[in-house]
Amino acid sequence: MSDHLSLPIRLPDEDAERFERLATLTQRVATHVLEDHWTPAHLNGIADSSHQAWKYFDEHEPFEERDPYLPSRFRRCILQKVGETLRSHADRRDAFQSIRDVLPDHKIRRIHRRHIKDQLWDDGDYLSSGYVDILIDQLNSYYDRHGVYPDTYLEMQDCPEYDNGVLPFSADDGPTSGQAVKYQYDSDTETLTIRLKTPDTLSPETRGDWSWTEYERDGYEAFHDLLTHGDLSAPEFQPARRKTGDAYYELSFPVEVEHAEPTNDADCVLALDAGMRKDMTAVVVTDDGEQLSTPQFIQFTDREKCDDFTANEPA
């Protein structure tokens, strides 16, 4: 078994304008595509789809009325981004439906939060408290405005708007054949060569309005160390901001890492990091904080795995 750990590689500041155009175009197009698919039918459809998120869509239909020229793999990556968002809200909708069945007939107060969480656990719906708290806050806000709780998730959840241009390249064709990004790591020189396709304008009209640029990045110690344990997977383009407000841009590369064999004779601590949505990360460390295992990712909705995990904890 294996997991993916991600580490960022900073893109050069001198091409920040080019990256800004990529981020802006991604944000603009993805928001329009999400708005067009913000329906119960699409939430049901993406929830029932077991493939990569972009494969749920007709690859061409969402872009037929869009003015900018968008390369095919850029379109796929946009659909991957939108599909991941729809899947996340499909999960939230399922959680809402579980919570909806145990709501009181008045505004939810602190004592009722605990009751709702206990009842969800007893019914087998194992959800992180952070996840439940977010939904309860939404429900209370809706109750304050309307005096009743919503019948459906979409009654209280408007279509979200993307506030950044994050773009997953997992829908592209791989490190050497990619049509949106290519990358190759040289273990001898510890350098990463990246070729990235970006728009020359915010309103590209033809294929010629997109250009490839190549960068060699040196990485850093933790990045090189991680690559001794696994291989790079398709990156995600991520805009970010410094404390000064200035923008910078990164490619975050997941690395597939095989699980380490357990060491039963070690004095160790089990560290747990509960996410705000559905996942919990567990890792074994020594008393001094040295990591002894690769992280294990557990979905809170996977009650059987959670029970097995706690049953197998060392005494």
Domain boundaries, the chain: 2-8+166-257, 26-156, 269-311
Tens of pLDDT, residues 153-166: 999 999 999 999 99
Q: Which residues have C-beta within 8 Å of that of residue 59, sequence separation ≥ 6?
A: 72, 75, 76, 79
d(CA 277, CA 230): 27
**Range of 50-59, 63-72, 292-301 with top mean pLDDT:** 50-59
Taking a C-beta distance cutoff of 8 angstroms, is the pair 267, 287 a contact?
Answer: yes
**309 Rama class: left (phi>0) / alpha (psi -120 to 50) / beta:** alpha
When pLDDT is cut at 50, 70 and 90, the band that residue 11 belongs to is: very high
Tens of pLDDT, residues 161-209: 999 999 999 999 999 999 999 999 999 999 999 999 999 999 999 999 9
Average pLDDT, the chain: 85
How do beta strands 236-241 and 167-168 pair? antiparallel
pTM above 0.85, yes or no: no
d(CA 276, CA 117): 15
In 3-state terms, what secondary structure has residue 135? helix
Q: Of 174, 160, 165, 109, which is closest to residue 139 (Cα–Cα)?
A: 109
Is it the case that residue 284 has pLDDT exceeding 60?
yes
Tens of pLDDT, residues 205-237: 999 999 999 999 998 988 998 898 888 999 999
When pLDDT is cut at 50, 70 and 90, the band that residue 113 belongs to is: confident
Quote the pLDDT of residue 121.
74
